[in-house]
Amino acid sequence: MPVRKAVMPVAGLGTRFLPATKAQPKVMLPVVDTPSIQYVVEEAVRAGITDILIVTGRDKRSIEDHFDRSVELEHFLESRGKFDELKMVREISDMATIHYIRQKDPLGLGHAVSLAEQHVGTEPFAVLLGDDLIHPSVPLLPEMLRVHARYGRNVIAVQDVAHEDIGFYGSVEPEFVDEHLARVLSIVEKASPDEAPSDLAVIGRYVLTHDIFDALREIEPGSGGEFQLTDAINLLAKEQAVYAYRFDEGRYDVGNKLDYLKATVEFALEHEDVGEDFRRYLRELVRRDTTS
């Protein structure tokens, strides 16, 4: 069965970006001129997925407003002859059919995904996390969909990270099928570097079957009373094949300040309006820094 639906959990409080996130969702912070959540929606659309459920929380209405029509803005742009801008804002509201559900309590990623059960039914679906921004040139999600189409099983994205950083992620114990694909033997969530089975970290892209919902009902809450999606996937891996697709580049953790800045700089360099001027500015900045 083809994957037609995607789930995007965005209910987190974004405390790493305070005070900017005190009154706005972290996923609405712009990378140059585009909110990170729009990049994630566009990624799903490029992969052929246009039915999207966004799992929100309190104070996230700006996400809904962003993907809705803005009649007043459209009328203003049309009256001023700003037709390129008019086309752009209309494309934002027309690119996908977006639904919303609220996660009323902060009970973790596993709980957020469980809220999608009624929407996705028995179909396979993709999960895309808003903190992980994948460069548009990297076909990560299409590759994962191809793996799912071949095997009909759950697929997770993994990436090699620095050994000292593996404790921030779920660590996969792999059995490689080829250079980019491995069967998951187990996942250890936020293990110390000495205890992690590998430096392959689970990244925020998943293609899941409806079996995940039964697994989510079986797991126990962990630290802070949160239900971890990786715990449910680990449970499934003991009963059926779960595959890990390894990719190498093009990922930014925009929930991290340094990666957010890296994404902003690199996307700005490619931006058709400011790219060349920004490149010249950076060269001048480096020149001043090295001569001072």
Rounded Cα distance, 232 and 109, in Å: 11
**Which tokens is 15 given?**
């405390």
- CATH code of 5-255, in short, is 3.90.550.10
For the stretch 174-187, pLDDT in tens is: 999 998 999 999 99
Query: What confidence score (pLDDT) does residue 223 get?
Result: 73
For the stretch 89-134, pLDDT in tens is: 999 999 999 999 999 888 899 999 999 999 999 999 999 999 999 9
Q: What percent of the chain has pLDDT over 70?
A: 100
Query: What confidence score (pLDDT) does residue 216 get?
Result: 96
* Helices marked H in the chain: 36-46, 61-67, 71-79, 83-94, 109-114, 117-120, 140-151, 211-218, 229-237, 257-270, 275-291
Question: What rounded mean pLDDT belongs to the chain?
Answer: 93
Query: What confidence score (pLDDT) does residue 224 get?
Result: 76
Q: Residue ranges of the domains in the chain?
A: 5-255, 256-292
For the stretch 275-285, pLDDT in tens is: 999 999 999 99
For the stretch 26-46, pLDDT in tens is: 999 999 999 999 999 999 999
Rounded Cα distance, 131 and 25, in Å: 11
For residue 159, give Cα distances in angstroms to 73, 210, 236: 41, 25, 21
Q: How many CB atoms lie within 10 A of CB 149?
A: 14
Rounded Cα distance, 290 and 222, in Å: 49
Mean pLDDT, to the nearest integer, of 261-273? 95
Of 188 and 156, more confident: 156
- Residue 195: partners with Cβ closer than 8 Å, 6 or more residues away: 188
Q: Which of 134-138, 223-227, 254-258 has the lowest mean pLDDT?
A: 223-227
- Residue 209: partners with Cβ closer than 8 Å, 6 or more residues away: 124, 152, 153, 154
For the stretch 246-257, pLDDT in tens is: 999 999 999 889
DSSP string across 65-97: HHHS--HHHHHHHHHTT-HHHHHHHHHHHHS-E
**The residue type at 262:** K
Query: What confidence score (pLDDT) does residue 292 get?
Result: 66
Maximum Cα–Cα distance across the chain: 63
Q: How far is CA 274 from the centre of its chain?
A: 26
Q: What is the dihedral of CA 59, 60, 62, 64, to 10 degrees?
A: -140
Query: What confidence score (pLDDT) does residue 261 get?
Result: 96
- Report the relative pairing of strands 170-176 and 181-189 from DSSP bridges: antiparallel
**Which tokens is 222 given?**
């962990």
